[in-house]
Amino acid sequence: MGLFLLDYGAGNVQSLANTLQTLGHSFKWITSPSDFDDATCLIFPGVGAFQTAVDGLASRGFLEPLRDYIISGRPYFGICIGMQVLFQSSTEGASAPGLSIIPSKIDVFSNEDKTVPHMGWNSVHLLDPHHKADEGLDETLYYYFVHSYRVTYNPEREPNTAPWVHSVTQYGQEVFIATVHKDNVFGCQFHPEKSGDAGLRLLDAWLREPTFAQSQSQSTTRNPFPPRPKDGFTKRIIACMDVRANDQGDLVVTKGDQYDVREKATTTTANLPDGTSSPLTASVAGAVRNLGKPVALAARYYAAGADELALLNITSFRHSPLRDQPMLAVVRAAAATVYVPLTIGGGIRDTIDPDGTPRSALEVAGAYFRAGADKVSIGSEAVYAVERLRRATTAAAAAIAPAAGGSDGSSAIEAIARAYGRQAVVVSIDPKRVYVQDGSTYDGPRKDELMIGSGEEEGKAWWYQCTVSGGREARDLSVVELARGVETLGAGEILLNSIDRDGTGRGFDFHLVNLVRRNVRIPVVASSGAGNVQHFVDVFKKTDVEAALAAGIFHRGEVRIDEVKEALIEAGISARTTKTRPSSYKA
């Protein structure tokens, strides 16, 4: 008897387990259909795609026991997919019906006025704020959402669904259901386990309610909630940690200057026995820059108010991604101490272990998710996938091949997006400038992407070429071609780096950021070049990106995250601050 967690076999459920342990709540896992009979409270931390979740529940024999549990009147808390399965169906998985406990259907967001997925921190609006059953929600705080599908709030069109609605959120001009609460059922579209102290407060409040109180709620008439001129969506500040092995084999956080992570080489001159100097000199490579331990830095940035964290493995794996236990241990340890989203990159590709065992990118991603990652970042493999996509499309258009063109569905992006949802897939792009001699007469294949400089760059013209292998190899692919391609394949977010600006402190490359932002409808994270607080203000003022990322200036203490947030708010840019965060919850 007691609290049970339901895991259908996909996604990051470890983070919720870590959160409950931090809050002091013991629990057991549902491992067989009979475990539902022993549960007096049940949390379903669903992560991933609707169809995968329903199929996973059915294949384990959990679907009907779950329905019976909820109907029995025992307390149920559904998170994200755990809430969505309560509804009739979703266009994300048309062949997989939901539990039909709530009489509504789930559909995809419109991307006409915003990017999709809805990825980031947003506010909630309680429909009955005077009622006791706010379950720890606070309209002055922000919660982390990451989803492409939602249930629109429309009490006039769907009066039978309206009594279930506890709170709503606005994204763009769409108002959707953020939480449901009726009788024994509570569900939220956002992730409380990734919503910092605000999320801890919500979980703790629900779990500390007596079982009887958890099974009771008043149902009141729900009035329309027309969209407001501006939603509560905030800009994100992401702290990135490039992780690699130093010369002693320890994993450290490092930072490169235009992707070079070693200290400057030293040159020595040999002294001959007669006291003269030898004409021969030797250049000794500098040590890998060590800016700290990844887990300690992750905890520091979480406490400082970072909206997300990224751990990118930029070194070669000792054996293979799945056998690189030190990196997996770093992910587990970081996920146990931070309660905001964690992106992991490095080695997300099809590989073969030293013993000949093949490992798919989906399997590698799954290991990271089970260790505590929320998203995985794909780099070079995304470039190769888009090159294959373009070749197939070109061949089909030229009638060289009988296929209809497009992808065969085998890329890492597609495989992971099918299983976990596109919101779980980030593509990291490493472009560099290619200058042309005369921009006014250039008539090359990238003329539609040509940038014309002004000010200190007056007279210069260039386009952006994509690279692989950490920027060491250029490919015949432009940044726009890559960005559009990964969106087509199913990526949910683009991490946009700049080899030219990396480590320079000159600010973000607005030409590059705006170029990509105009050509895709998925979120974009601006990276590379930040040197001071004003650079973050500028990138949000001069571009429409959803997030900005920095590394070295945070590691070296040159800029603090709270300084960035304060500057954004002072400039009229919506940002999540830490000043209103409750101090009574461990973080």
pLDDT at position 59, please?
94
Per-residue pLDDT of 358-410, as tens digits, reads 999 999 999 999 999 999 999 999 999 999 999 998 887 776 554 445 678 99
Mean pLDDT of the chain: 88
Q: Percent helix, strand and coil across the chain, each rounded to 5?
A: 30, 25, 45
Mean pLDDT lowest among 27-41, 256-270, 339-353, 394-408: 256-270
Q: How confident is the model at residue 183, as a pLDDT?
A: 93
The Cα 121–Cα 304 span in angstroms is 16
**By percentage, how much of the chain surpasses pLDDT 90?**
74
> What is the structure's pLDDT at 584?
39
Q: Is 193 among the residues known to form the active site?
A: yes
pLDDT band at 239 (very low <50, low <70, confident <90, very high): very high
Average pLDDT over residues 66-81: 96
Q: Which of 118, 147, 166, 191 is catalytic?
A: 191
Cα angle 460-461-463, degrees, rounded to a multiple of 5:
145
pLDDT reported for residue 47: 79
Residue with structure tokens 């008539």? 443
Q: What integer pLDDT is reported at residue 258 of this predicted model?
A: 47
Q: Is residue 374 annotated as a catalytic residue, yes or no?
A: no
Looking at residue 325, its pLDDT comes to 65
pLDDT at 300: 96
Whole-angstrom CA distances from 353 to 42, 312, 322, 379, 429 are: 38, 21, 8, 20, 27
Q: What is the mean pLDDT of residues 553-574?
A: 97
How far CA 463 is from CA of 242, 250, 289, 437, 495, in Å, comes to: 27, 39, 31, 12, 18
| Range with lowest mean pLDDT among 11-20, 194-203, 291-300, 315-324 | 315-324
Residue 241 near residue 553, CB atoms below 8 Å: no
* Cα within 13 Å of Cα(425), Cβ side: 33
375, containing H or E segment = strand 375-378
CB-based burial label for 102 (10 Å; 0-12, 13-18, 19+): buried
pLDDT of amino acid 249: 58
Q: Report pLDDT for 257.
A: 52
Q: Which pLDDT band holds residue 580 (cuts at 50, 70, 90)?
A: very low
Query: d(Cα 159, Cα 395) in Å, to the nearest integer?
Result: 52
Confidence of residue 284 (pLDDT cuts 50, 70, 90): very low
Give the pair of three-digit tokens for residue 276.
């003269």
Q: Which of 80, 188, 240, 466 is catalytic?
A: 80
List pLDDT tens digits, range 425-480.
999 999 999 999 999 999 999 999 999 999 999 999 999 999 999 899 999 999 99
d(CA 478, CA 464): 6
Catalytic pick from 7, 55, 135, 193?
A: 193
Pairwise pLDDT comparison (330 vs 283), residue with the higher score: 330
Catalytic site residue from 204, 209, 414, 430: 430
Which 3 state secondary structure label does DSSP give 105? strand
- Model confidence at 314, in pLDDT bands (50, 70, 90)? confident
* Residue 546 is among the residues annotated as catalytic for this protein: no
Does the active-site annotation cover 430?
yes
Across 207-211, 280-284, 361-365, 383-387, least confident range: 280-284
Out of 7, 135, 197, 242, pick the active-site residue: 242
pLDDT score of 279 more than 70:
no
Q: How far apart are CA 343 and CA 413, in angstroms?
A: 15
Residue 213: predicted pLDDT: 60
pTM: 0.90
- Which of 345, 328, 494 has the alpha carbon at shortest distance from 423? 494
Residue 282 to residue 298: CA distance in whole angstroms: 38
Whether the predicted pLDDT of 271 surpasses 70: no
Q: Are the beta carbons of 119 and 422 closer than 8 angstroms?
A: no
Query: In the sheet that 149-150 helps form, which strands lie side by side, from edge to edge?
Result: 87-90, 102-108, 149-150
What was the pLDDT predicted at 101?
Answer: 97
Determine the pLDDT at residue 583: 36
What's the rounded Cα separation, in Å, for the pair 224 and 231? Answer: 16
What digits encode the pLDDT tens for the residues 109-142?
A: 999 999 999 999 999 999 976 665 567 899 999 9
Secondary structure tally for the chain: helices H, strands E:
17, 30
